[in-house]
Amino acid sequence: MKTVEHSEMLTIKSLSESYLNKETTPEAVVQAIIIKAMEDKEMNIWIELPIMERIQPYLDGLLELDPAASPLWGIPFAIKDNIDLADVPTTAGCEEYAYTPIEHSTVVSRLIAAGAIPIGKTNLDQFATGLVGTRSPFGETHNALREELISGGSSSGSSVAVARGQVAFALGTDTAGSGRVPAGLNGLVGYKPSLGAWPTKGVVPACASLDCVTVFTHSIEDALAVDGVVRGYDNTDPWSRNIPIPAPKLPVKICLPQAPLDFYGPYADEYRMAWEAAVEKVEKLNLPIEYINCSFFSEAAALLYNGPYVAERWASLGSFVEAHPNTVFPVTEQVLRSGTKAEYDAASVFQAMHKLQAFKLNARKLLGDAVLVMPTSGGTWTREQVRLDPISTNSDMGRYTNHCNLLDLCAVAVPAGEAAPKLPFGITLFALAENEALICASADAFIKHIGGASYE
């Protein structure tokens, strides 16, 4: 029987085929993962490292499942540590905040019922507040390819666990881009479903009205395999919506930014050239192209941190911060406390809501049956550079992502080649909430057009 080398990229498709052909077993795969996780321990990927004692009950549970009827049978996955796994502490990146849930979050429960194996809990920007992967008292998560660079956040550990071959897929969350930016920086697919399509029950809220559970994978195919298991209305979740599983179809057109885009950080020039190359590839997809004014997307994005919507974060976590002085990561507390500004009164919230509703109407008119393509992030930095300038670097990361959930869009981040050696570049495709089918098909078409991507 073949053993799985722990350096191999893990995918749902390849593992399922290996199990079917009796080439390996889930136990052998898990043992290899544990070895690899220990080898990468200094990369700060995990808060709860993979250990056989905790994983064994889930391996034993596979004996009660029919592999043919269990679409994720034996597939190892990671869980961002703001998502509940029963009997394992949920820290949200803050040890003092930790609690031990007695039941799984809805998404985790559905995955386990389909045969997936939870491997451990991954590191994150504390309270899912950040896009950089350096805001954790559990250590800065290293980039999967170049250790001096940031991994992206807040779902840092989840993305790197997939990129380093320690799991086949990993759950993240996304409020401002946390399920997409780490995908772009580590050469992965990051799938962000429409708001409410995947239940958020059992997820520590950042901005509850905007939070999504997401998935990191190596392919659109694997992302949709996970989607097919976890999607569905949860009548115990007040944010849940009944949005059907997408059946991929191509859009009537692709929308691209009309004006040149700005890029930031030490690799700004490389990012600009990579974006221009990606645009050329998009233009060759044999789909109509429309060049649009994207300014209102930026105006909408500004409402998230430079407007009263940041107060929703304080509403969720302010009482904990006040009751536990000097325990929250300093830059995280700075961001959270910005939600207490006097100008963010009740009237300002409604003013922002009304402005946002107008932006949503613009998006609906503009996108229709179309897909918008943007860079996944505005740049990247070394971990040292972000440490020295945590606020503006984080803001520049989110230039082309923060509008997404505010405008009720779905999105998928996909690899788009390299900006420099071992420096992945990614694009994100956006569509209206009911049009997830369009981003699935167009993302798949783009990946096939560029011949895929390998970052080894």
pLDDT tens for each residue of 171-185: 999 999 999 999 999
| Residue at 2: amino acid letter | K
Q: pLDDT tens across 356-371, in order?
A: 999 999 999 999 999 9
Average pLDDT over residues 416-426: 96
pLDDT value, residue 398: 95
Q: Is the pLDDT of residue 68 over 50?
A: yes
Tell me, what amino acid is at 235?
A: N
Whether 338 shows a pLDDT value over 90: the answer reads yes
Rama region for 378: left / alpha / beta (φ>0; ψ in -120 to 50; rest) = alpha
Structure token pair of residue 288: 């109509």
**For position 453, what pLDDT does the model report?**
44
Instruction: Give residue 304's pLDDT.
Output: 87
pLDDT, average across residues 115-121: 98
Q: Average pLDDT of 101-113?
A: 98
Per the model's pLDDT, the better-predicted residue between 305 and 139 turns out to be 139
* Residue 109 bears catalytic tag: no
**Mean pLDDT of the 386-400 span:** 96
Query: Active site includes 80?
Result: yes
Asked whether residue 320 carries a pLDDT value surpassing 50, the answer given is: yes
* Long-range contacts of residues 279-287, Cβ cutoff 8 Å, at least 24 apart: 279/373, 281/416, 281/446, 281/449, 281/450, 282/254, 282/256, 282/373, 282/427, 282/446, 283/256, 284/449, 285/254, 285/442, 285/445, 285/446, 285/449, 287/250, 287/251, 287/253, 287/254, 287/442, 287/445
CA 195 to CA 208: how far, in whole Å?
10
Where are the domain boundaries for CATH 3.90.1300.10 in the chain?
12-230, 253-450
* 120-127: average pLDDT: 98
Mean pLDDT check: name the lowest of 115-129, 171-185, 216-230, 303-317.
303-317
- The tens digit of pLDDT for each residue in 14-60 reads 999 999 999 999 999 999 999 999 999 999 999 999 999 999 999 99
Known catalytic membership, residue 178: yes
Rounded to whole angstroms, the Cα distance separating 241 from 239 reads 7
Helices (H), 237-389: 268-283, 295-305, 311-323, 330-337, 346-367, 383-388
pLDDT of residue 384: 98
Q: Which of 136, 178, 219, 442 is catalytic?
A: 178
pLDDT band, residue 454 (cuts 50/70/90): very low
Surface-to-core class of residue 148, CB atoms within 10 Å of its CB (0-12 exposed, 13-18 middle, 19+ buried): exposed
Q: Which of 16, 109, 151, 154 is catalytic?
A: 154
Q: How is domain 253-450 classified at the architecture level of CATH?
A: Alpha-Beta Complex (3.90)
At 403, is the pLDDT very low, low, confident or very high (cuts 50, 70, 90)? very high
Catalytic, out of 16, 18, 36, 80: 80
Which pLDDT does position 452 carry in this prediction?
A: 57
Superfamily (CATH) of domain 12-230: Amidase signature (AS) domain (3.90.1300.10)
Model confidence pLDDT, tens digit, residues 201-228: 999 999 999 999 999 999 999 999 999 9
* pLDDT value at residue 129: 96
Which residues, other chains included, contact 234 with Cβ-Cβ below 8 Å and sequence gap of 6+?
106, 199, 201, 240
**What mean pLDDT comes out for the span 316-330?**
95
